[in-house]
Amino acid sequence: MRKLFGTDGVRGTANTYPMTAEMALRIGAAVGRYFRREAGGVHRVVIGKDTRLSGYMFENALTAGLTSTGMNVLLLGPVPTPAVGLLTRSMRADLGVMISASHNPAPDNGIKFFGPDGFKLSDEAEAEIEALIETGVQPAQATNIGRARRIDDARFRYGERVKSSLPRDLRLDGLKVVIDCAHGAAYRAAPDILWELGADVIPMGVAPDGLNINAGCGSTKPQAAAERVVAEGAHMGICLDGDADRVIVIDETGAVADGDQIMALLASRWAAEDRLSGGALVATVMSNLGLERHLAGQGLRLERTGVGDRYVVERMRAGGFNLGGEQSGHIVMTDFATTGDGLMAGLHVLAEMVRTGQPASALSRLFEPVPQLLKNVRYGAGEQPLDAPRVRAVIAAAEAGLIGRGRLLIRKSGTEPLIRVMAECEDEALLLSTVDGIVAAVAEAATD
């Protein structure tokens, strides 16, 4: 069982366990030893980060831990998470590390890992690393300590890979695009790539100060970008999160399209071109029932997984599928990338606009979502509110009430101390009463 790792690496508030400099050093040493189990040869790790103030602290602590076990460290600076997956593989590294808490606020931070193939580590690998953290590792001899160096062109290498996922003759001339980078990792790469492809770029969230990442902007707060799209008469808006592995699209009217609508568009197009592997899209249990019905109407399947883009990718690799993602905006195209890439997905939507001549509003509303409601309940350390008999009884009654009418999903967040209560039902009154009843029961149990 993993205790330190959640659904996407280690995450928490900076300078609070487990996100302390001391723990980062221990994590670095443990993961360095795990990937350097065989003596001899050159061993290297690439480290990227987003723009959080605490990134400096964790970058240095991880570097110290990794070099202490003989790993050579290549420091990429601020780059999107998918760039770390890409460069881990292209630079023949043994390991990739991304320092980011994704869409979380600036005081939080996290550490996630990629194996030499550029894909995120399995639960089993993370459990073995946790065991090494607990027991400690033997450092390398003084003459075998690793070195560290800066890589200055990481974002340019990433940019070339992103552009290569599009047809060589594709240009975005004449398209006005708002790009909201959430003051995060893509604040330089994303506007540059759009400009290089010919778009008229209106950048937002491109002035990081270490404390403003995701603050009132980005994929979790797209309202400001939506207003800017309308005010500027833009053709589309692209909202990224802090590490740019997820995306939300805004059409020319200011309407927001989530990951489900983006996946519907790409799956439909790829199926028409006979390049949707396995005739299926992989998504999590959070994706809307409307998406599943839309795909079924085209003879396509929706393969569901647990929440977390890592589990989506694992299912894609196991089943030979090449398109997947999450409602939150992680879009994974394994023909081109090893993890979710928000900018790449946004570019593929723009490519469809160029190919079809249709506006974003026609391409990002392919199905009518079934009404869905999600509410979160925060709980304290050591509490297990879902185990309370009263909560279990309320959940059982809710499930019985939704049979044949909708579905219910209740889970613990893998990154925060939250119970997430989600339901779908076309009867909106029943939907609201179902979710509110469970939330009230969980909240009561969490305060007992």
Task: Give dist(CA 246, CA 378) in Å, integer.
Answer: 24
Catalytic residue IDs: 102
DSSP helix, strand, coil percent of the chain (3-state; round to 5):
40, 20, 40
CA–chain centroid gap for 63, Å, is: 24
Alpha helices by DSSP H, 40-149 = 55-68, 81-90, 123-135
Look at residue 356 and give its three-state secondary structure.
helix
Report how far residue 401's alpha carbon sits from residue 114's, in angstroms, rounded to the nearest whole number: 43
- In total, the chain counts a number of residues equal to 448
Closest to 286 measured CA to CA, from 266, 321, 258:
258
Q: What is the DSSP letter of 127?
A: H
């290089």: which residue's tokens? 196
Instruction: Please tell me what DSSP assigns to residue 264.
Output: H
Residue 99 sits at φ, ψ, to 5 deg, of -100, 105
Is residue 174 packed enough to be buried (19+ CB in 10 Å), middle (13-18) or exposed (0-12)?
exposed
CA-to-CA separations, 353 to 87, 231, 252, in angstroms, rounded = 30, 20, 12
